[in-house]
Amino acid sequence: MKVLIVLTSHDELGDTGRKTGFWLEELAAPFYRFKDAGARIVLASPKGGRPPVDPKSNEADFQTDDTRRFEADPEATEALANTVRLDSVSAADFDAVFYSGGHGPLWDLAEDAFSARLIESTLRSGKPVVLVCHAPGVLRHAVEEAGTPLVAGRKVTGFANSEEEAVQLTDVVPFLVEDELTRLGGVYSKGGDWQPYVLRDGLLITGQNPASSGPAADALIELFDTGGV
């Protein structure tokens, strides 16, 4: 299995003057689920090179065994320092695509036409796409071949309005993931705030929050192990 992990290149948290980026756990947890399963992993971001990590995600309260393992792993940190440009990859070269969250994707990947086409072409070629936390917002411009929203009628989850309110960023983000998925016709549901919650609808897998990133990766691995792909 060869997996593309997509990360944001955006590091400004609206007009707050604070930094954002990808959430470290949402890279580290799936990275090691895939690595320990024997998968080959490629990291990509819109600008290539080293993508910005949300500094808050590396604070002591948010570190996990996976994040500590990642930061002590020369191979992993080298891959992160040299992500490939997203527009240089092809769905044909991968068996699955995984989008890590953090607030950054709401500004760049959510408006990235190449990203939308990558998601569409991956699913249409019978390969799974996984998006966790804020990354399901990246689906906002992805469409079916008939032009209808890709999420319409699909079971989806993503960072909940209540979770955004809890981190006091409701009025900072360009849109709320829960509201956007619902507006597009997605059958949105959620678990408890900050608790793991993963949904699979066919080849589309979504996770609600950082705690869902490892379980979402497990759901992808299970899909391959059970012959669902």
Classify strands 198-201 and 204-207 as parallel, antiparallel or unpaired. antiparallel
Could you tell me where the DSSP H helices lie in 125-199?
A: 161-166, 177-183
Asked whether the predicted pLDDT for residue 229 surpasses 80, the reply is no
CATH number for region 2-225: 3.40.50.880
pLDDT of residue 101: 98
Measure Cα distances from 163 to 81, 84, 219 in Å.
30, 31, 23
Q: What is the rounded distance in angstroms from the CA atom of residue 109 to the CA atom of residue 165? A: 22
Instruction: Please report, for the chain, the start and end positions of each structural domain, with discontinuous segments joined by +.
Output: 2-225
Q: What are the tens digits of pLDDT across the range 111-163?
A: 999 999 999 999 999 999 999 999 999 999 999 999 999 999 999 999 999 99
Asked whether the predicted pLDDT for residue 66 surpasses 90, the reply is yes
**Burial label, 139 (beta-carbon count in 10 A; 0-12, 13-18, 19+):** buried
Q: What is the rounded distance in angstroms from the CA atom of residue 56 to the CA atom of residue 24? A: 9
pLDDT of residue 110: 98
pLDDT of residue 161: 98
Which structure tokens are listed for 110?
A: 């959510």
Give the angle 48-46-19 at the CA atoms, nearest 5°. Answer: 90
Classify strands 40-45 and 96-99 as parallel, antiparallel or unpaired. unpaired
Reduced to 3 states (helix: H, G, I; strand: E, B; else coil), residue 103 is coil
